[in-house]
Every structure is written in C-alpha cells, then in structure tokens.
Amino acid sequence: MAEGEPSVQRPVVWLGDSRRNIQAFPLGARKLVGGELQLVQFGGMPKDAKPFHGVGSGVFEIALAYETNAYRTVFAVQLGAKIYVLHAFQKKSKSGIKTPQKDIDLIKRRYKEAKELAKREKG
C-alpha cells in the first residue's frame, strides 16, 4: 500500500463454528486474535502467522499462547477480496505442536467450501 493511499478493509467470512469458537476463547485471547485478524483485513500479516501447509495456497495459521493454553486460528487470504476464517480452536494435545488430524481434515473441508464461495462471488 502506497503512503497516503486509503486502506480498504477486507470483509471476513466465518466458516462453520469458527466465530463461535473464537467467542469461547478467554477475553484476552479473543482480543489478541481479533487484532491479528484486523491487521490481515487491512493488508498486513501478523508476525506470528505462518503458512499452514497441506491445505492450499494462501492459508495461514495464527498460533497464540495465552495464559497456559494454546489457541489456533486458520484463515485463507488468496480467495478473492475476502478473508475466510476456516477454523479456530484451543489446542489441547500434549504431543507437541502438531495440529490434530481431525482439525486438519476440518480445515481442508472448509477450505474447499471457501473456494466454492469465492468462485460463486466471481460469477
């Protein structure tokens, strides 16, 4: 974005229960995720966002540690003008940083759904 150029806020599309899941996070974690997603809406990328491999191009994961828990939010940015939040969850696994397979499968299904939604919007 060029200096002086007005920023455009990209709309967010919440897939499945992703919004409800974020609303269930503790207030501090919700505020952190909300700030990170707002940065994405205005064309930025949070420092702690990393590519979420194995799903599709332009899919990222925000991994937050809040108090003693870990929270994940996965979103897609390259499917048109909108940001698609694919999944949000509290990571409960004690076996390292790996995302559980059931969550990966859900993210893949929602990514396909997001691609279809974006395709329909293009006409």
Edge-to-edge order in the sheet of strand 49-51? 12-14, 83-91, 69-76, 59-66, 49-51
What b-and-e string marks burial along 13-46, b requiring 16 or more CB atoms within 10 Å of the CB? bbbbebeebbeebeeebbebbeebbeebbeeeeb
Q: How many domains, in total, are found in the chain?
A: 1
With contact defined as beta carbons under 8 Å apart, do 53 and 12 qualify? no
Question: What global pTM score does this model have?
Answer: 0.89
Residue 4 lies in a domain: no
pLDDT for 64: 92
pLDDT band at 107 (very low <50, low <70, confident <90, very high): very high
Domain of residue 80, residue span: 12-122
C-alpha pair distances (Å), 8 with each of 1, 5, 24, 41, 52? 10, 9, 28, 8, 25
CATH number for 83: 3.30.2310.20
**For residues 61-65, average pLDDT:** 93
Whether 37 has a pLDDT exceeding 70, the answer reads yes
Residue 63 lies in a domain: yes
Q: Could you tell me which residue, 91 or 37, shows the higher pLDDT?
A: 37
Whether 3 has a pLDDT exceeding 80, the answer reads no
SS3 84: strand
pLDDT band at 2 (very low <50, low <70, confident <90, very high): very low
pLDDT for 25: 96
